Structure 1
């Protein structure tokens, strides 16, 4: 009856219309380009660091600057995007565009670094810029889609993430084996094939995000006068800083529970991204000489492996809404993370590089779920006027495990795992399985079983009731 009362009072809540396939396509397309940036970063930064003279136990520390910046930037970007509105540019799209310009320039500059400190600095700039454009994309799904389309919306983003990452990860391999650019360079220099991979990624990144900026129209604030009054009240640098961090202690219960899940799943991912190249080149190719042909063959194969798990994630993303409807989002996440954890652990038992592709299937299934299911659960637990802010805060639980990885994984690799980075990947697999088990304790009030033949009135009731989630 309470739901009927809400529906009888349309002014109580703006009910978001269901969007068409092409509207969801256009608003998600920018993630294709964003993932070109992440794929090139994740698959090649440790390779670049080693080329510039870094030792294996120093790699994790060198990744540390970027998440430290993200920890400060993300809540501010989310807060500002919640309080931004332009009839022409909308709310989130200005941040898409600024982040894309900065990240694309960083991708174009990265191949020209000539020292270890320059590579670490460019990673810092590139990672911060990618996050500026990425996090408002998460909030856009909450802004634009009704509750019963959010899993589909995040699934569409995951599909484009997968496609972009497949091609982005393959770029060094393509330039080496198909276009016949050399993948070997003197010590302290980046190979031609890797240079042109970064150039291509920078161009595609910008064009894909520009497509979303041009082809998407956002909803204005529900009450523009109240919106402008609130923005004026909190204007000024120090007010922005204060407001941006003041709400962290008031996170909804679902968000606090998901934070723990995110921490362990992303700790596993960072162990993979930081140590995949040294683990596979040393454990399977039996070399750590960055100037040797066999080392660079192994490093190129790491990019192929990354493209496979991202390709699997693109396909798995299409199945996640079906599996979640048949079981639950929590159970779906548990199953996917368990598959990913077993995939990482299996690398220890492999000596044939081709078999790594089997391990990557499990990782790809987990990656699809990590990029969509937690955000779908979170979106239903957030107040609409703070969607961007809390999505930015949620990024803390990606940044924090990266910081922990930067501080601890080098020590563990050298002193606990006896200098064998493949054991760091086994550790990551165990962390991912633990993350899946912790998902079972998440309160997902928005995960309502829906029949496929809802009437328009039933659809409306579901959207209204879900948007008035008492968990907020």
Structure 2
């Protein structure tokens, strides 16, 4: 057997602009769907009878699904090779299922059924999104990845603009924007049908125009033997599983004994499951997918660990934004909490405009960030952008004019552009290429865990401290985004 040390790495070819375009075009459709979800799901849930303080719990499908799906998809896509390639089968299957969910969600008619369709949508979007991140790393040489992720961020921003604006655009075309109680407005339904077609067609474009590198080629790029596969790698079994499980049991007992919000049971149960998975893998010396995921989690590169805390705070703030912007804007700027009123629905449409605006800014800022990074470095660029996001949330506490709300949205757009690209530029510079999928999936833990925390805790915070004043959620978002910016000071870039 040839040893990896005897093999000279082959340079990975640079991609043309058309190649970079094709690699990431599928994200355009994914983000149309994601933009529709972010701007309209709270509106749909409220229209079907949900209270504001219950919204976070109804959104919990996404974090739970992402926590389970993304590491598994990353693990298996790293090991997949067949007639249709390595990553492409996963993001094509996810696109088809997401299209089905987008058709069903606005026609659900009942809150429970809508929540089920949201779960399917989140699961499907996770199946599609995770391989796309690794796909850019697979297909580009290291010196071109900042540009590759910038183009992906541009497509993400452009897709989200369309997804966020779609209801307002259909309203402008004469499609009704209001509906009786318990019915989703026709403009929203038309938007979700557009999203279903967009995600399937855009992802199909990438799947059919991009040819992936074979396992032999990928091995040559890394300078290792083609037969030096994953199965030969030694596994590391984390030793703290019992502590995680005990902490989860303690939280469950506290919730039951103190009569705390039952939504916290989800967080406690997740901690128990995570701990038991580690304990079982360690005791049985398992070699399956879960054991590999736990092993890779234990062997994260130092930069990934340093970035994890910043990601945790960042996504806490973003989840607050996506859940509570609609009730904040409709109540404080459009002065309505009646979901059947014209004022409420005009406010909900304006949230779509706001989200479209920040995504449009992100699409443009994506090409500024590589320039900033060359001057001050990837980490400092990310810190500046996160600080801009913290200022944006603070401004939303005091602005009561709908047009002026676009100012903080511009700052959110700058932060969003960095969030979508810079962490992955930092990570792919230190990750082994044959493990891009699993490590980007594991990295999703630090996106999902804060979402779980918000979904299980924020409703109780609102009920306890400001039951009729959801605007204070923006103060929470401002503080945690500032914490994210400060946490980047710990990150050391690869040299």
Verify same fold: TM over 0.5.
yes
Match of 1:174 among 169, 181, 188: 169
Could you tell me which residue of structure 1 aligns to residue 160 of structure 2? 165
User: Are the equivalent residues in 2 in contact too, given 1:74–1:135 (CA < 8 A)?
Assistant: yes
Q: What is the alpha-carbon distance in structure 2 between the residues aligned to residue 244 and residue 331 of structure 1? A: 30
Q: 2:62 aligns with which of 46, 59, 66?
A: 66
CA drift of 1:380 comes to 1.0
Report how far residue 66 of structure 1 moved.
2.2
User: Aligned residue for 1:98?
Assistant: 93
User: Post-superposition shift, 1:243?
Assistant: 2.1
Within the alignment, does 1:148 sit opposite 2:197 as a pair? Answer: no
The 8 Å contact of residues 306 and 360 in structure 1, kept in 2 or not, is answered as yes
Contact 2:61 2:122 in 1 (8 A): no
8 A contact 2:74–2:130 mirrored in 1: yes
Deviation for aligned residue 1:338: 1.0
The whole-number CA distance in structure 2 between the counterparts of 1:125 and 1:444 is: 37
Using the TM superposition, give the Cα deviation of residue 226 of structure 1 relative to its aligned residue in structure 2, in angstroms: 4.0
- Residue in structure 1 matched with residue 381 of structure 2 by the alignment: 332
Aligned pair 1:16/2:65, yes or no? no
Gaps of 5+ in 2: 220-224, 236-285
Deviation at 1:344, TM superposition (A): 1.5
2:315 pairs with one of 249, 253, 266? 266
Q: Kindly provide the CA deviation profile for residues 429-465 of structure 1, in whole angstroms up to 9, marking residues without a partner as x.
A: 221121111112112115xxxxxxxxxxxxxxxxxxx
Moved more, 333-342 or 312-321: 333-342
Shift of residue 48, structure 1, vs aligned partner: 0.7
Aligned-residue offset at 1:317:
0.2
Q: Which moved more, 1:371-380 or 1:116-125?
A: 116-125
How far apart are the structure 1 equivalents of 2:104 and 2:157?
25
Q: Does 1:33 align with 2:82?
A: no
Shift of 1:356: 0.7
1:230 CA drift (Å): 6.0
State the alpha-carbon separation in 2 of the partners of residues 120 and 230 from structure 1: 42
**Partner SS, residue 371 of structure 1:** helix
Q: TM-score, normalized by length of structure 2?
A: 0.85
Match of 2:443 among 351, 374, 394: 394
- Aligned alpha-carbon RMSD (Å): 1.7
Count, aligned residues = 432
CA distance in 2: counterparts of 1:418 and 1:171, whole angstroms: 31
CA separation in 2, counterparts of 1:229 and 1:56?
49
2:186 paired residue among 167, 189, 192: 192
**Which residue of structure 1 lines up, in the alignment, with residue 195 of structure 2?**
201
Conserved 8 A contact 1:417-1:424: no
8 Å CA contact 1:254–1:378 kept in 2: the answer is yes
1:229/1:280 Cα in 2 relative to 1: closer, same or farther (>3 Å)?
closer
In 2, the alpha carbon distance for the partners of 1:10 and 1:91 equals 26
Deviation at 1:373, TM superposition (A): 0.3
Provide closer, same or farther for how the CA distance between residues 90 and 10 of structure 1 changes in structure 2, counting only shifts above 3 A.
farther
Structure 1 length as normaliser, TM-score?
0.89
1:372 maps to what in 2?
A: 421
Paired residue for 2:207? Answer: 213
**How far 1:73 sits from its partner (Å)?**
1.2
Contact 1:43 1:302 in 2 (8 A): yes
Q: What is the CA–CA distance in structure 2 between the aligned matches of 1:71 and 1:260, rounded to whole Å? A: 17
Partner of 2:241: none
Quickly say closer, same or farther: Cα 1:354–1:398, change in 2 above 3 A: same
Alignment of 1:412-423 (within 5 A): 412-423=461-472
Residue 275, structure 1, aligned to residue 324, structure 2: yes
Contact 1:278 1:421 in 2 (8 A): yes
The aligned residue for residue 462 of structure 1 is: none
Q: Would you say the 8 A contact 1:414–1:420 is kept in 2?
A: no
Q: Indicate the larger mover: 427-436 or 389-398.
A: 427-436
Does the Cα contact within 8 Å between 1:170 and 1:303 map onto a contact in 2?
yes
TM superposition shift of 1:419: 2.9
Select the residue among 93, 116, 124 that pairs with 1:121. 116
Structure 1 residue matching 2:288: 3-state secondary structure:
helix
Matching residue within 29, 37, 50 for 1:54: 50
Counterpart contact for 1:64–1:406, Cα < 8 Å: yes
Are 1:357 and 2:406 counterparts? yes
Aligned equivalents of 1:247, 1:146: Cα separation in 2: 23
Please give the alpha-carbon distance, in whole angstroms, between the structure 2 residues aligned to 1:396 and 1:121. 22
Whether contact under 8 Å (2:48, 2:182) holds in the other structure is yes
Is residue 77–residue 392 contact of structure 1 (8 Å, CA) maintained in 2? yes
Per-residue CA distance 1:248-282 (angstroms, 9 max, x = gap): 11111111111111111111100000000001111
Q: Out of 275, 288, 292, which is 1:243 matched to?
A: 292
- Match of 1:419, SS state, is coil
- Give me the whole-angstrom Cα distance separating, in 1, the residues matched to 2:29 and 2:42: 21
Distance 1:134 1:366 in 2: 20
- Work out the CA distance in 1 between the residues paired with 2:287 and 2:471: 46
Q: CA deviation at 1:238?
A: 7.5
**Within 1, Cα distance between the matches of 2:316 and 2:376?**
26
CA deviation profile, 1:379-410 (whole Å, cap 9, x unmatched): 11111111100011111111111100101111
Kindly indicate whether the alpha-carbon contact (under 8 Å) linking 2:30 and 2:199 is maintained by their aligned counterparts in 1.
yes
Question: 1:347 aligned to 2:396?
Answer: yes
